[in-house]
Amino acid sequence: MMLKKLSQPRYFFLFLLALAIVVRVGASLTVVGFDADPSSLDMDEQEYYQYAGDLLNGTYEFNTRRTLGHVIVLALYRLVTFDNFIATQLLATVIFSLTAPLMYLLVRRLTGNQLVAAIVGILVVFWTPFIYYGTSLYSETTALPLLVAFLLLLPRGSAVVQPADPEQGQTSAKTWFRYGLCGVLLALCMLIRPMYLLFVPFVLLLIFLEEPRWNTALKRSIVLLAGCALLILPWSVYMTTNAGTPILVSANGGETISGGLNPVLVEQGYQVFVAPDGRVTWTGPGKWLPIHESGYLSEAELQLPYFQQDKLLKQRTLEWIVTHPRETISLQAAKLLYMWGFYPLRWDQQTLLGSVPTIVALLLSLAGLIRFRGYTRQLARFWLLPIFVSAVALVSWGSWRFRQPGDLGILVLGTLFVLSFAVQPETLIRRVRPLQYESFRQSIAPVKR
């Protein structure tokens, strides 16, 4: 009876949610403990936590470096938990736990296969990087479930739905509203994690991949961008007015790119050291340096307002890239190798529990993408994610925190590849329309009713 209930989406969703909460809360209490305090947080976490406290106390001061999305979320967590640190951390962990059941619904909707969706959902629950980062107060804990909700809500194009599917050929007001709402969700992702600004071109590409009728895809893209602008433009006006210089989301573009591309990283090379909290970590190519360590600004320039520093950083980093192409390519390669677990391999706990599973999942996903090449459009929401986070690494650095959306994609493709040895590929994904190998003229032709 219980197994029969679990075959129904609503019950399996609740099962996954409960399982994820148990696993993540257990991990959080194990890592953080019952007597932890904000001093145990990483630097970025402490900054977010402090800003949230300033917001609650009415002492928040405008800054151009951080957006307020995650700060507001943390302030709400602290408000409802009566500013109890452990309760705040656990609440963030519970919200992050939504990622697994939402991912189950997304995979089920895109493949039409309960088995594939269930396995992916369980993998997301027990994926080591998610367990580790799910115990943190990083902005990813807020942004990742919201991203999956965006992908779940985004209507599918005519290339990836069955003729009898309710979404087939939809042009109703409800459909346009959903595209507008998706734009709002995407804007929320940006205000929580500015790196999702780079996701916009991937979303537009996704719309055109799933909808071969260019006019329809263009209209849907415009509506989505309009919904996005509803939140981004007021925020941009607020930032620009207070800073006195044009700012779209945040003014840390120069800081972001300079931290991962600078001569200091090349000169110092790979170095292992012990962090203040006792962790053995490393620095060098593939990592990121703060402004005062990148070597681009003098002591006098470090006293300038932040947006002026950022402008100088952007200018000098681009100049260094042009004059040092070999070093730039080397650093970019190190970022990607670090992001996907190939470097550095120190054969410690992080390598065995993090790098090795990541490399295996990545290789399986590449094999899955080849094996299921006939479903390229239908699986676009998954294979675009690792490409997106790789682009983020090239702009910033190879942080595993930034890689989380990509992990979702490789888990889906890897699962499909493994299952295809026991089940025929055509039964793993609901077959729609063979649009993958048609000519250019056929791909843009109107869909016949």
pLDDT digits (tens, 9 = 90+) for 154-199: 999 988 876 556 565 555 778 899 999 999 999 999 999 999 999 9
Answer with the one of 275, 307, 337 that is the final residue of a domain: 337
Q: Which of the residue ranges 127-136, 162-171, 272-281, 349-358 would you say has the lowest mean pLDDT?
A: 162-171
Residue 362 in this model has a pLDDT that exceeds 50: yes
Residue 285: DSSP 8-state: T
Written as six digits, the tokens of 80 are 């409802």
Q: Are residues 72 and 140 in the same domain?
A: yes
Residue 449 belongs to a domain:
no
Residue 392 in this model has a pLDDT that exceeds 70: yes
pLDDT class of 275 with cuts at 50, 70, 90: low
Answer with the one of 289, 313, 337 that is the final residue of a domain: 337
Task: Please name the amino acid found at residue 228.
Answer: C
Residues 182, 149 contacting (CB under 8 angstroms)? no
Residues 134, 97 contacting (CB under 8 angstroms)? yes
From residue 13, alpha-carbon distances to 6, 9, 22, 244, 419 in Å are 9, 6, 14, 47, 21
Q: Which residue range(s) make up the domain with 313?
A: 255-337
Q: Are residues 138 and 239 in the same domain?
A: yes
What rounded mean pLDDT belongs to the chain? 89
> How confident is the model at residue 433, as a pLDDT?
47
Helix (H) or strand (E) holding 274: strand 271-274
Residues 6+ apart with CB under 8 A from 405: 144, 147, 385, 388, 389
Q: Are residues 138 and 70 in the same domain?
A: yes
Q: Are residues 273 and 350 in the same domain?
A: no
Q: Are residues 344 and 438 in the same domain?
A: yes
- The structural domain count of the chain equals 2
> How confident is the model at residue 371, as a pLDDT?
94
With 0-12 CB in 10 A as exposed, 13-18 as middle and 19+ as buried, what is 278?
A: exposed
Q: CA 435, CA 447: separation in Å to the nearest integer?
A: 11
Q: Are residues 159 and 25 in the same domain?
A: yes
